[in-house]
């Protein structure tokens, strides 16, 4: 049985989480990533915002009514390997997340998530910030 490929399929949250955990366990740092290809415009994405330092686009597997990613153009594999020289870039990602959340109408709040490493659920080894909103989010996450 193959998974439904239609954007109209409804996936049970537990099944979606199991798939994300599986992806995180199989992902490896190093080399090119899908985000690098999006940054270079080699593959399409639903881009919300872009500047010299970052690109913002909708997640292809949204976990909330609004779910987008803020991705630095600089290739940094994970938050655990950031350099102190990246401090301004990391701050910029937060400011852009705030701007895009406001532009997307997330007036009642939103969640910011950075997954790091296999146990943190990181499935793409290019640092990225998830912004999720549009509904009451549960706690604890994961």
Terminal CA-CA length for the chain: 27
Q: How many residues would you count in the chain? A: 142
Residue 115, helix vs strand vs coil = coil
Task: Give the number of other CB atoms < 10 A from CB of residue 42.
Answer: 10
- In the residue annotation, 128 being an active-site residue is answered as yes
Catalytic residue among 58, 92, 126, 128: 128
CB 108 within 8 A of CB 78: no
Q: Report the catalytic residues.
A: 128
């Amino acid at each position: 049985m193959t998974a439904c490929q239609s954007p109209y399929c409804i996936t049970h949250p537990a099944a979606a989480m199991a798939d994300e955990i599986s992806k995180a366990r199989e992902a490896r740092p190093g080399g090119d990533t899908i985000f690098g290809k999006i940054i270079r415009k080699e593959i399409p994405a639903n881009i919300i915002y872009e500047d010299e330092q970052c690109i913002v686009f909708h997640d292809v597997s949204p976990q909330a009514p609004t779910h987008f990613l803020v991705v630095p153009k600089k290739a940094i594999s994970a938050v655990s390997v950031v350099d102190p020289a990246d401090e301004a870039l990391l701050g910029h990602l937060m400011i852009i997340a705030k701007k895009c959340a406001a532009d997307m109408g997330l007036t009642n709040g939103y969640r910011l998530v950075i997954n790091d490493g296999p146990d943190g659920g990181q499935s793409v080894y290019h640092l990225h910030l998830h912004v999720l909103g549009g509904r009451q989010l549960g706690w604890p996450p994961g």
